[in-house]
Amino acid sequence: MSAKKRATFGGRLSAVLVAAGSAVGLGNIWRFPYLAGENGGGAFFAIYLLAVMIVGVPLMISEFSLGTATHRNAVGAFRQLNKRWVFIGYMGVLASVLILSFYLVVAGWTAEYMFHSVFSDQVQNPDPASHVAAFENFITNPWKPVLYALGFGLVTHLIITMGVQKGIERASKVMMPMLFVALLVLAIHSILMPGGMEGLKFFLAPDFSKVTAKTILAAVGQAFFSLSIGLGTMITYASYFKQGTSVRGTTLQVTLLDTTVALLAGLMIFPAVFSAGIEPDSGPSLVFITLPSIFSTLPMSAFWSTIFFLLLVLAALTSTISMHESVTAYLEEEWKLSRRAAAWAVTLFTGVLGIVASLSMGIWSGYTLFGFNIFDLLDYVTANILLPLGALLTCLFVGWKFDQKVFRQQLYPDCNVGKEYRVLRFLIRYLCPLSLIILFIYNLGWA
């Protein structure tokens, strides 16, 4: 135990709330639909669900256990257990910084759309082409999206340094159910739009004929991204769990919440995409051009649009906080920086990289690497390489190196080992690592 007393979350419900706050975010509502749209819809969703169940759940349980067993940040946890494996923690910190940088950019877009809903009547425009033009116009502006990203970074920073955890917990408690209801209402509305059924079919009826190794990797990567696993964020969060917080229960609830939000987002987006004649493979702009098309068909469109984007801003904020916190905790505990200095280091670094990512969607879009602009590169490298690799190594570590007794204690503090333990062990030791290794090999084109 470190000499300094570490913070803890209030209890069982707050553990679920903060972990779900990290998991539920732009990954569910922005990234999931755009990837599903690019990767054939139903087949992508089916593979995604499979990945969540087979790899996602065991991995989240593993990360939580590492956190509750060590009460350390991601790097410190591995260092305490086995120094040779500490590089997994460093990979996680790197992934967190990179994801946070481009995540802030998209979070900034949601903030702009929130304000825009109040101050502009674009949202009432029924022409989908005008929403495409408005989005293009905004992200190619040289300074506006940059300022929004930096603003979002600063708000995240403020919350991290003021430690207003209680406020966040309370906000999540209200925001999450509201987001659920809003998504549900919009999904029903969207399905009832003319031509909506077509979109429903696209999203829910899998056509496996076009599935490639790339599709599978994208779905698996998205599962990790959405659940905030494979990079140690959940290790850090679990290190703050109060004693007695259930690792298994929290995992199941967070996974269920996160997956339901992704499902609802798909049900909201695709019927509207087909109804409005938007291309499902529009990429990162998909949600930003589809949502206004939905709102424009509603009475009091500005009101709904404002509320919805506000909820999205809050969902994004609870996710940026978790990424920021995991890096800040690392700098604070391993580098012995003050919390303020640690937080500033994270904010400044991600701010600079965020500026680059934002400009790469506009005036710097000409600078590419392997055919990706910087924004897409950050997105691809983290979700399709760093997270699956982190997941693979974490499974190997927990399956083969982590003391079984300690692992069992985290899962069954009352020593009543459940029947599912053997299935879980099998998944963590064999099935998860093997399937990830095979997936990597296929993607490298070796088979």
d(CA 328, CA 341): 9
Shortest Cβ distance from residue 437 to ligand PFF (Å)?
22
- Answer for which of 19, 20, 28, 381 binds ligand PFF (CB under 6 A) is 28
Closer residue to ligand PFF (CB): 22 or 305: 22
Q: Which stretch binds ligand PFF (CB under 6 A): 25-33, 79-87, 293-301, 399-407?
A: 25-33
Ranked by CB distance to ligand PFF, the top (closest) residue is 27
* 80-109 positions binding ligand PFF, by CB under 6 A: 96, 99
Both structure tokens of 204: 């829910």
Shortest Cβ distance from residue 233 to ligand PFF (Å)?
3
Q: Which residues, 6+ apart, have CB-to-CB distance to 256 below 8 Å?
A: none
Closer residue to ligand PFF (CB): 245 or 319: 319
d(CA 232, CA 160): 18
Shortest Cβ distance from residue 288 to ligand PFF (Å)?
15
Q: Name the β-bridge partners of 271.
A: none
Per the listing, tokens 């995992």 go with 251
30 Cα distance to chain centroid: 10
DSSP secondary structure of 201-241: HHHHS--GGG--HHHHHHHHHHHHHHHT-SSSHHHHHHHTP
350 belongs to the binding site for ligand PFF (CB under 6 A): no
The beta strand positions in 35-160, using DSSP E, are: none
25 belongs to the binding site for ligand PFF (CB under 6 A): yes
DSSP secondary structure of 275-309: HHT--TT-GGGHHHHHHHHHHTTSTTHHHHHHHHH
Q: Which stretch binds ligand PFF (CB under 6 A): 26-34, 206-214, 281-289, 300-308?
A: 26-34
The conformation of residue 124, written as its DSSP 8-state character, comes to G
- Answer for which of 150, 186, 323, 346 binds ligand PFF (CB under 6 A) is 323
- Answer for which of 125, 233, 275, 305 binds ligand PFF (CB under 6 A) is 233
Q: Which stretch binds ligand PFF (CB under 6 A): 18-26, 141-149, 195-203, 372-380?
A: 18-26
Number of amino acids touching ligand PFF (CB under 6 A): 16
d(CA 237, CA 110): 25
- Answer for which of 134, 231, 291, 377 binds ligand PFF (CB under 6 A) is 231
Burial (0-12, 13-18, 19+ Cβ within 10 Å), 283: exposed
322 belongs to the binding site for ligand PFF (CB under 6 A): yes
In the Cβ-directed half-sphere of 291, how many Cα atoms lie within 13 Å?
A: 27
226 belongs to the binding site for ligand PFF (CB under 6 A): yes
Closer residue to ligand PFF (CB): 28 or 65: 28
23 belongs to the binding site for ligand PFF (CB under 6 A): yes
Shortest Cβ distance from residue 328 to ligand PFF (Å)?
13
The conformation of residue 2, written as its DSSP 8-state character, comes to -
Q: Which stretch binds ligand PFF (CB under 6 A): 7-15, 132-140, 144-152, 319-327?
A: 319-327
Q: Which stretch binds ligand PFF (CB under 6 A): 17-25, 264-272, 278-286, 330-338?
A: 17-25
In the Cβ-directed half-sphere of 293, how many Cα atoms lie within 13 Å?
A: 30
Contact 52, 350 (CB under 8 A): no
Closer residue to ligand PFF (CB): 101 or 228: 228
Shortest Cβ distance from residue 172 to ligand PFF (Å)?
13
- Map residues 141-170 to x or -, x wherever contact with ligand PFF holds by CB under 6 A: ------------------------------
Helical ranges in 84-126 per DSSP H: 86-119
Q: For residue 340, how many other CB atoms are within 10 A of its CB?
A: 13
Binding region for ligand PFF (CB under 6 A) = 22-23, 25-28, 96, 99, 225-226, 228, 231, 233, 319, 322-323
